[in-house]
Amino acid sequence: MSEIPEDLRFAETHEWVRDDGDGKFTMGITDHAQSEMGEIVMIELPSVGDQFDSGDVVGTLEAVKTAADFYAPLGGKVTEVNESLEDSPEKINQDPYGEGWLVSFESDDGEAVSGLMSAAEYRQHAGD
């Protein structure tokens, strides 16, 4: 069974969101998603200031055998990217909910976070 922190919300496309307060959020991919991808070897992140709507492609992860886009669970504007992943993308595999976070963003769409799945709902969705 994959690790699924109770304090996060989850998208059907296997991204997680942490509400950091004051309209600020952090996102990444779930433990389930990274384990399905295998060893992640490269990441394409957005730029600070980029804007996106819910469901938009935010960036791309490349693993040894596959590549996959990751999507915005909420609309917003990028305030920070995890630049350490450019040199150490394996952090996503090692610690997807900690050092492997992808993007921080501000959102006026913060109420929409309640529409994302709880840990229990995501556990059922992911089959864990």
pLDDT confidence bin for 128, thresholds 50/70/90: low
pLDDT of 88-105, one tens digit each? 999 999 999 999 999 999
pLDDT confidence bin for 2, thresholds 50/70/90: low
pTM: 0.94
Q: What is the largest CA-CA distance in the chain?
A: 39
The pLDDT of residue 59 = 97
Instruction: Give backbone dihedrals phi and psi of 57, rounded to 5 degrees, phi first.
Output: -70, 130
The pLDDT of residue 65 = 87
Overall average pLDDT of the 24-47 stretch: 96
pLDDT of 41-87, one tens digit each? 999 999 999 999 999 999 999 999 899 999 999 999 999 999 999 99
Round to whole Å and give the CA distance between 9 and 52.
19
CATH topology of domain 9-123: OB fold (Dihydrolipoamide Acetyltransferase, E2P) (2.40.50)
Overall average pLDDT of the 112-124 stretch: 94
The pLDDT of residue 111 = 83
Round to whole Å and give the CA distance between 122 and 69.
19
